[in-house]
Amino acid sequence: MEKERVRIIDIAEELGLSTATVSNVIHGKTGKISDETVRRVQKLLEERQYIPSMAGILLAQNNSRIIGVVINDHEKYESKVLEDSFIASALNALSHEIEKAGYFMMTKITREYSEITRFASMWNMEGLVVIGFCEQDYKKLRDSMHIPFVVYDGYLKEPGRLCNLVIDNYDGGYQVGLYFRKLGHRKVLCIADNDKCMDGERYRGFRDAMENYGADFMEIPMGKAEQREYYQKKLEQIRQYTAVFAVSDYYAITFMQFLQENGIKVPEEISVCGFDDTPLCEMVCPSLTTVKQDNSERAKKAISLLKQMKEGTVSGMTYRLPVELVIRKSTISCTKDGGDLYLD
């Protein structure tokens, strides 16, 4: 039989004290309570194995020690955002850094920016880390929020009083383009679900690195089933390319699977490169060449910036983290006619 939960009123009645006195001892507000009374309350709490409501304690304090992490439940995730390997990796890194800093982490998944302000207010949060929203949503949040928050994975040209933590998306795309050129690829393609914000920066870097050879762009549907249908319609066009850069590992892996299902060898016929360096990159066959963004370093910087914002030592800045090309087995030198190795 489950043991009945001990309540504050039970402790108060047994000691002949008010519930307010017992509550104040539990919450550490003992300035006006005698040492003897504090000891009596604490002793009985321990004997009765009283388990306090952490939510109640935190909400009653000025410093809740809660940092919220809000993830955009974008339609491309098809209601499975936490199964995305990049999001999972980011949450894991953030959880580690938040706990190490002595805070609690609460997460929320939503598509509506208006829910974020309610979420933060309801739990008396000390700061927010916001992932994957659009610039217009960040601007609305910036104007309505009164607690520190960091844009962790998004796009915001003018941070105002916020901290915008970004990676060098342009340089990531540029590194891929330069690498493809060195491998002799001249007919290359970039695939993404849009050419704006972060994805647009990655494509522009890629295109610029290819210089006079150029880089085609293919805007693909977000849904997995719709993507496959789209690729099937474009199959003959796709066969003309020798290398493809996908703006995320997720898109790169699903594209690589499509090629293999249609008898196109990767990398012998088409080289494929992704972006993010999620754990799946080393699990697929062939292992995926990609651009690495360091989630551990990013999470560490995000929590550091939140603390600095709370202390008033930093405000309104964009902090750019470097990226690195990780070469694996999904890319090789061009073997089709017209390919030639690029030498510095």
- Asked if 76 and 120 sit in the same domain, the reply is yes
In a domain, 344, yes or no: no
In a domain, 2, yes or no: no
- Asked if 274 and 178 sit in the same domain, the reply is yes
In a domain, 338, yes or no: no
pLDDT in tens, 217-239: 999 998 889 999 999 999 999 99
pLDDT in tens, 238-289: 999 999 999 999 999 999 999 999 999 999 999 999 999 999 999 999 999 9
Domain extent, residue 31, equals 8-52
What three-state secondary structure class fits 323? coil
In a domain, 113, yes or no: yes
pLDDT at 59: 58
Give the CATH number of the domain where residue 159 resides: 3.40.50.2300
pLDDT over 90 (residue 107): yes
In a domain, 147, yes or no: yes
pLDDT over 80 (residue 1): no
pLDDT at 272: 98
Average of pLDDT values for 109-135?
A: 85
pLDDT at 21: 92
pLDDT in tens, 4-18: 678 888 889 999 999
- Asked if 175 and 288 sit in the same domain, the reply is yes
In a domain, 277, yes or no: yes
The mean of the pLDDT values for the chain is 88
Average of pLDDT values for 83-100?
A: 92
- Asked if 88 and 104 sit in the same domain, the reply is yes
Torsion, CA 65, CA 66, CA 67, CA 71, rounded to 10? 170
Side-chain half-sphere CA neighbours of 34 within 13 A: 4
pTM, whole model, 2 decimals? 0.78
- Asked if 29 and 138 sit in the same domain, the reply is no
Residue 310 corresponds to which tokens in the numbers above? Answer: 């709370």
pLDDT over 80 (residue 198): yes
- Asked if 34 and 79 sit in the same domain, the reply is no
- Asked if 100 and 35 sit in the same domain, the reply is no
- Higher-scoring residue by pLDDT: 179, 154: 179
In a domain, 343, yes or no: no
pLDDT bin (cut points 50, 70, 90) of residue 55 is low
- Asked if 155 and 174 sit in the same domain, the reply is no
Average of pLDDT values for 74-81?
A: 80
- Asked if 15 and 105 sit in the same domain, the reply is no
In a domain, 342, yes or no: no
CA gap 149, 164 in Å, rounded: 9
Domain count, the chain: 3
Q: What's the one-letter identity of residue 221? A: P
230 close to 220: Cβ distance less than 8 angstroms: yes
- Asked if 81 and 130 sit in the same domain, the reply is yes
pLDDT at 98: 93
- Asked if 149 and 81 sit in the same domain, the reply is yes
Count CB atoms within 10 A of the CB of residue 280: 19
- Asked if 127 and 198 sit in the same domain, the reply is no
Residues in the chain: 344
